[in-house]
Structure 1
Amino acid sequence: MRVGTVREIKNHEYRVGLTPESARELVAHGHDVWVEAGAGAGIGAGDADYGAAGAVIVPDAATIFAECDMVVKVKEPQAAERAMLRRGQILYTYLHLAPDPEQTADLVKSGVTAIAYETVTGADGSLPLLKPMSQVAGRMAIQAGATALEKAHGGRGVLLGGVPGVLPAKVVVIGGGVVGFNAAQMAVGLGADVTILDRDPAVLERLDNHFEGRARTLYSGRASLAEQVAAADLVIGAVLIPGAAAPKLVTRAMLATMKPGAVLVDVAIDQGGCFETSHATTHAQPTYVVDGIVHYCVANMPGAVARTSTYALNNVTLPHALRIADLGWQAALKANPHLAAGLNVHDGQVTHAAVARDLGYAHVAVEQVL
């Protein structure tokens, strides 16, 4: 199979779909690997590194999209990239379709076979291809929130950990999954006053046992959520419903109860965001203010630490890429129902139930297209 990767064109996105090491593995399996010139620059991987791994360097993305059987990316294809997709081609990348009707319509129209990292499952029900980026984003959320809290960036002027004689910042983490856990770890490490909200008693018990009193856990109901948000200096939105649009848990009315200059960091923004007032921002302009509350809603947070993120991502995406290339997408998905869960769009049909429900498409089960 001819497998290609392109330079990412989303704002301040420096990750790349294949590292030179991943390219070498694909070549060792007998596949042709084409890499757009400069694709790895953001992680410090030059064209010579890819060439040494056996990849072919091509001058532009158009060549990759026109000639490769499978395109491996990081972020969802942008409009110009979607225009180059074609029927019968495999697209293997993050998609986040539920809050993105335009992208979904373009993928359906193209006829491409689109496999989304974020809906591939693990044997334990986890999302292993999403997990490393959730770990990165959770940890970055505290860094970003701490910066946004600085007065020069529009925040309250509060230091997360406080100092002797001055109370630390109150950090509220909504959601106790991978993002929430990693955000809480970072916040606790900096000495903040941390509360984690979740609706799953098993998750609350696990977190409570892990933090041993260094962070509090609280069942997330309407009253408890409103009370915690009102008292917070920094709120981390870490809610995920796999494949579906994120629920709007923090309403605009709640902003009026918050301290002026408090900060909201919406890590769920890829799935539409879990704050009513959220809209996607970029690393170039990461924040905006609504009703005196600073919002940080960067949709590709891990792109800022591209080298760490790319290698962490390739560790989990490469094994499936090899299976798809070795067996073909149909055989690979038939052999692995967890990989099959990643199929979102195929030949003009929406094959993920949550995406179809949220965007009003007829749902065609994966089993039907296999």
Structure 2
Amino acid sequence: MEVGVPKEIKDQEYRVGLTPGSVRVLSEAGHRVFVETLAGDGSGFDDQDYIEAGAKIVATASEAWSRELVIKVKEPLTAEYGFLRANQILFTYLHLAANRELTEALLEAGGVAIAYESVELPSGAFPLLSPMSVIAGRLSIQFGAHFLERQQGGRGVLLSGIPGVKSGHVVILGGGVVGTEAARIALGMGAQVTILDINVERLAYLETLFGSQVELLYSTSQSIAEAVPAADLVVGAVLVPGKKPPTLVSRQLVERMRPGSVIVDVAVDQGGCIETLKVTSHSSPTYTKAGVVHYGVPNMPGAVPWTATQALNHSTLPYILQLANQGLTALEKNASLAKGLNVKNHQLLHPAVQEVFPDL
């Protein structure tokens, strides 16, 4: 099969769909890989690395997109809609629930679109979402700490505190992978940490991880209303597979936060759980609303592409190899991969996205 790897064009998105190592595996399996020139530069892989791995370097995005199987990292942007076509399998992050325009473009094109974030194991785990969730969770604290600096518009709080001065307070909404990793880094920095979640079993598991170091609260509107105004940094870490998360922090609640506090919503690519938060970019990552610094970059792991690209490929390569070897038959043989199918032959097939767009 011919596999195309276009260069990502989202703002400061430096990840790439395939590493040279993954290209070598595909090449050795008899597949031809076409990589757009400079596609891997941001992740530390130059064209020569891909050539040595067996890829052919192509000069334009069109040449990479015109293959049977297209591997990307982020969803197609408007400028790429013209590359979508029938008889094409697109495998990438899609997050369609937050993007009606892209959903309509995929339906009109008539190809097959499989979303990384929808691939689901029988256990309920999301193996292709997890590695980026780990990175985003860890980065949420790193970025949050940075934007708490006074020069960045924050309160001037050092999360670790120092002897004689109390540490900063981090409130994390959601105790899944993102929330757990955020808590891990926040604790490592010496912050006070509160996690809120609606799953009592998950809270019990978090207690086994963190013991009494973290305050674990059952998430209700009241507990959120009490915790958020006391926070220096609020991390939105709520995932509802395929759907927009519920709005947990209202505009009125944001207005009760102290000026210079920071909100980082990792779920912004699915619509976010903070009413006042909108999508930003790595070029312009924050804005201030009601005196609170808001960070809403939807491709946070793109800030650490050398790490993120390799982590993503470790998880995606087995599925990519199945698609290259078997084509659409892979969806019949692998139930987990089939869960990732969002669009096929002008039809919207993922149940959660269907609920969001019942008219499509």
CA displacement at 1:209 relative to structure 2: 1.3
CA RMSD of aligned residues (A): 0.7
AA partner of residue 22 (structure 1):
S
Give the equivalent residue in structure 1 for 2:111. 112
Structure 2 partner of 1:355? 353
| Secondary structure at the counterpart of residue 74 of structure 2 | coil
Q: How many angstroms apart in 2 are the aligned matches of 1:36 and 1:161?
A: 44
Distance in 2 between residues matched to 1:249 and 1:353, nearest whole Å: 23
State the match for 1:289 in structure 2: 288
Q: How far off is 1:84 after superposition?
A: 1.0
- The alpha-carbon deviation at position 124 of structure 1 amounts to 1.2
The separation in 1 between residues aligned to 2:208 and 2:89, in whole angstroms, is: 43
Alignment of 1:143-292 (within 5 A): 143-292=142-291
Q: In structure 1, what residue type is equivalent to 2:162? A: V
Alignment map for 1:123-134 (pairs within 5 Å): 123-134=122-133
How far does the alpha carbon of each residue in 1:91-113 deviate from its partner, in whole angstroms, 9 at most, with x for none? 00000000100111111111110
Distance 1:279 1:229 in 2: 18
Once residues 285 and 358 of structure 2 are traced to their aligned partners in structure 1, the CA distance between those partners, rounded to angstroms, is: 31
Match of 1:44 in 2: 44
1:365 matched residue in structure 2: none
The Cα of 1:75 is off from its aligned counterpart by 0.2
Letter of the 1:285 counterpart: S
Q: After TM superposition, give the deviation of residue 81 of structure 1 in Å.
A: 1.2
Q: Name the SS for the 1:321 alignment partner.
A: helix
Report the secondary structure of 1:334's partner residue. Answer: helix
Partner-residue secondary structure (3-state), 1:244: coil
**Paired-residue identity, %:** 53
Residues 143-197 of structure 1 show CA distances to partners (whole Å, capped at 9, x for unaligned) of: 1100111111111110001000001011000000000000000000000000000
Map of 1:366 onto structure 2: none
Q: In structure 1, the residue corresponding to 2:18 is in which secondary structure?
A: coil
CA contact (8 A) 1:350 1:361 kept: no
Give per-residue Cα distances to partners, 1:21-65, cap 9 Å, x unaligned.
Answer: 000000111101000011000011111110001101110111122
Q: What is the CA distance between 1:213 and its match in structure 2?
A: 1.0
Residue equivalent to 2:8: 8
Cα drift, residue 359 of structure 1:
1.8
Distance 1:43 1:30 in 2: 25
Q: Once the two structures are superposed, what CA deviation does each residue of 1:270-313 show, in whole Å capped at 9, x if it has no partner?
A: 10111001111001100001110110000100001001000000
Tell me the distance in 1 between the aligned counterparts of 2:254 and 2:288.
11
Q: Which amino acid aligns with 1:357?
A: E
Q: Deviation at 1:361?
A: 3.7
Write the distance in 2 (CA, Å) between the matches of 1:7 and 1:113. Answer: 20
Q: Which residue of 1 aligns with 2:28?
A: 28
Match of 2:82 in 1: 83
Runs of 4+ in 1 over 2 A off after TM superposition: none
Do residues 136 (structure 1) and 135 (structure 2) align? yes
Q: Secondary structure at the match of 2:54?
A: coil
Aligned length: 360
Q: CA deviation at 1:353?
A: 0.8
Aligned residue for 1:249, secondary structure, equals coil
* C-alpha distance in structure 1 between counterparts of 2:244 and 2:108, whole Å: 22
CA distance in structure 1 between the aligned counterparts of 2:69 and 2:318, rounded to whole angstroms = 14
Verify the 8 A CA contact 1:3 1:70 in the aligned structure 2. Answer: yes
- Give the match for residue 333 of structure 1: 331
Please give the alpha-carbon distance, in whole angstroms, between the structure 2 residues aligned to 1:173 and 1:166: 22
Q: 2:177 and 2:81 mapped to 1: Cα distance?
A: 30
- The code of the aligned residue for 1:336 comes to N
In structure 1, C-alpha distance between the alignment counterparts of 2:25 and 2:77, rounded to whole Å: 27
Cα displacement (A) at 1:360: 2.2
| Residue in 1 that maps onto 2:54 | 54
> Could you say if the C-alpha distance between residues 361 and 343 of structure 1 is closer, same or farther in structure 2, counting changes exceeding 3 Å?
farther
Amino acid at match of 1:240: L
Separation of aligned partners in 2, 1:154 and 1:16? 32
User: Runs of 5+ in structure 2 lacking a partner?
Assistant: none
